[in-house]
């Protein structure tokens, strides 16, 4: 059994991680750390876990009793935590924040399994990709691999309210979010840096801009993304390109028919579809922001890091009816 410690366990990602690992055949949660909820039962905070989990949140932790720790902090807190704490070399780290996603003066591997599988298997420290970044990259990677991203790419993506975290804010309250849509961080979203990093890794050079407009949706979970790409030729069989690129991917699949977001909510899947109009492609990419966009992908990476079945604990049915 892989022994797991979770820091920042009281938030949305912490709760989803506990839900997945409680039902994981090869994982055991040793501690769920939360300073603000220490002593409280996990199921009293994450109420969907009643009857599934007897854990209590704790302010204590012991690195020598775990094989891996998940950092479910807000952005910027993971780096500070690791500067203040000495994690033994034999304990693997999976960070769900953005602190180590951009390559630099650290040894964290950027963990997008569809292109970094071999590096993930060998690594000890992993930076889990962002939610928007996952959906957008998976929609563009086959084109980058073929060197076809030569013109500016237009991206529109809408996310559920859970993408903003558990702490209430002016744009997350139900009375504001209900029956409402809004855009934010137009062309400046922080995930653009990791998106460009991965695309350049495959294409070698990326002069085209990624013109990304994020939307706040009036629903709780899921990301629905559309990307418009202009090609230099009209005779490219883009569908075959995508099917070949993802033929061995555990959770990313090309679908011949148009997509609905409900097909992926509550799963670790990314589903893709293309509509082609002469030399223009409209790529639809959909994920659950809390699963494939966060903790589902983190567990997928844990499985690879410990050489488990990549799909272990992640065979989840979508909530579609």
Pairing of strands 92-95, 68-71: parallel
CB count in 10 Å sphere of residue 293: 29
In whole angstroms, give the CA distance from residue 109 to residue 228: 29
Distance CA 178, CA 174 (A): 6
Rg of the chain over CA atoms, in angstroms?
Answer: 19
> CATH topology for 131-289?
Dihydrodipicolinate Reductase; domain 2 (3.30.360)
Report domain extents, the chain. Answer: 2-128+292-305, 131-289
Cα torsion 298, 18, 130, 78: sign: negative
Strand-by-strand arrangement of the 280-287 sheet: 182-183, 210-216, 153-159, 223-230, 280-287, 270-277, 252-254
pLDDT one-digit tens code per residue, 50-109 = 999 889 999 999 999 999 999 999 888 999 999 999 999 999 999 999 999 999 999 999
Q: What pLDDT sits at residue 265?
A: 97
Q: Are 2-128+292-305 and 131-289 in the same CATH fold?
A: no
Q: At what angle do helices 296-305 and 113-122 cross, to 10 degrees?
A: 40
- Tens of pLDDT, residues 127-185: 999 999 999 999 999 999 999 999 999 999 999 988 766 666 778 777 888 899 999 99
270 belongs to the catalytic site: no
Global pTM value: 0.95
User: Phi then psi for 287, rounded to 5 degrees?
Assistant: -145, 165
Burial class (CB within 10 angstroms; exposed 0-12, middle 13-18, buried 19+) of 178: exposed
CA atoms within 13 A of residue 122's CA, in its CB half-sphere: 6
Q: Average per-residue pLDDT in the chain?
A: 95
Question: Can you give the pLDDT at residue 36?
Answer: 87
Q: Which two tokens stand for residue 10?
A: 């009281």
Helices (H), the chain: 12-22, 42-45, 77-84, 113-122, 131-145, 174-177, 192-203, 238-245, 296-305
Task: Please determine, for residue 295, whether its predicted confidence score (pLDDT) is greater than 70.
Answer: yes
State what percent of residues in the chain have pLDDT above 90.
88
Collapsing DSSP states into helix, strand and coil, what is residue 221? coil
d(CA 306, CA 93): 12
Measure the CA–CA gap between 119 and 121, rounded to whole angstroms. Answer: 5
Tens of pLDDT, residue by residue over 232-285, are: 999 999 999 999 999 999 999 999 999 999 999 999 999 999 999 999 999 999
The class that CATH gives domain 2-128+292-305 is alpha beta
Query: Is the pLDDT score of 46 beyond 80?
Result: yes
Mean pLDDT calculated for residue range 209-229: 96
Measure CA 227 to chain center.
18
Direct distance between the N- and C-terminal alpha carbons of the chain, in angstroms, rounded to an integer: 35
CA atoms of 24 and 68, how far apart (whole Å): 14
Which of 43, 131, 225, 270 does the annotation list as catalytic? Answer: 131
């Amino acid at each position: 059994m892989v022994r797991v410690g979770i820091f920042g366990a009281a938030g949305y990602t912490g709760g989803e991680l506990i839900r997945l690992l409680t039902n994981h055949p090869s994982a055991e949660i040793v501690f769920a750390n939360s300073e603000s909820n220490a002593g409280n039962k996990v199921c009293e905070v994450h109420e969907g876990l009643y009857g599934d989990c007897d854990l209590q949140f704790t302010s204590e932790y012991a690195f020598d009793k775990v094989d891996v720790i998940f950092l479910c902090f807000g952005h910027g807190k993971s780096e500070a935590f690791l500067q203040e704490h000495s994690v033994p070399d034999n304990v693997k780290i999976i960070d769900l924040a953005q602190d180590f996603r951009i390559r630099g003066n650290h040894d964290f591997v950027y963990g997008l399994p569809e292109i970094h599988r071999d590096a993930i298997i060998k690594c000890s420290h992993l930076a889990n990709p962002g939610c928007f970044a996952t959906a957008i990259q998976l929609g563009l990677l086959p084109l980058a691999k073929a060197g076809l991203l030569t013109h500016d790419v237009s991206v529109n993506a809408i996310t559920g309210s859970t993408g903003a975290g558990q702490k209430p804010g002016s744009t997350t309250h139900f009375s504001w979010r209900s029956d409402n849509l809004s855009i934010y961080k137009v062309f400046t979203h922080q995930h653009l840096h990791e998106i460009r990093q991965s695309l350049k890794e495959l294409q070698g050079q990326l002069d085209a801009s990624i013109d990304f407009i994020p939307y706040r949706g009036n629903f709780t979970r899921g990301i629905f993304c559309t990307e418009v790409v202009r090609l230099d030729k009209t005779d490219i069989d883009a569908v075959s390109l995508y099917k070949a690129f993802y033929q061995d991917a555990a959770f990313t699949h090309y679908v011949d028919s148009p997509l609905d977001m409900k097909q992926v909510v509550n799963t670790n899947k990314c589903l893709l579809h293309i509509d082609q109009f002469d030399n223009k492609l409209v790529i639809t990419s959909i994920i659950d922001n809390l699963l494939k966009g966060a903790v589902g992908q983190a567990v997928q990476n844990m499985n690879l890091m410990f050489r488990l079945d990549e799909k272990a604990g992640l065979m989840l049915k979508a909530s579609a009816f």
